[in-house]
Amino acid sequence: MLDRINKNLKNGSIILMHNGTDNTANSLEGIIKSIQTKGYNIVKVSELIYNENYEIDANGTQKLKNNNE
């Protein structure tokens, strides 16, 4: 699990963790430490998602809308 996260981790990544499994509970502390060691901050999903004035590009990436159009 940690190897998969580390391989794909980048700014804005959302890591979905399923609760109720032993693997998640046992891995969470190590995953958090690994993410923080790489200099990333852990934030709530609501802090990553734009609530107003955004658009989704062809790749599915959410971006602030350019108001100069």
Q: Is residue 19 domain-resident?
A: yes
Q: Which residues of 3-15 are buried (b: 16+ CB within 10 A; e: fewer)?
A: eeeeeeeeeeeee
Asked, for residue 10, whether it belongs to a domain, the answer is: yes
Is position 25 within any domain? yes
Res 67: pLDDT: 63
Question: In the prediction, which pLDDT does 66 show?
Answer: 77
* Predicted model pTM: 0.62
- Residue 41 inside a domain? The answer is yes
Amino acid (one-letter) located at 30: G
Among residues 19, 18, 9, which one has the least CA distance to residue 42? 9
Question: Taking the CA atoms of the chain, what radius of gyration do you get in angstroms?
Answer: 15
**How many domains, the chain?**
1
Residue 37 in domain: yes
Predicted pLDDT of residue 11: 86
| Residue 69 in domain | no
Supply 32's token pair. 């958090």
Give the pLDDT confidence score for residue 22 in this predicted structure. 79
pLDDT at 56: 81
Domain that includes residue 36, residue range: 2-64
Query: What would the two tokens of residue 38 be?
Result: 């790489």
What is the tens place of the pLDDT at every residue in 8-58?
898 888 888 888 887 888 888 999 999 999 999 998 887 877 778 888 888
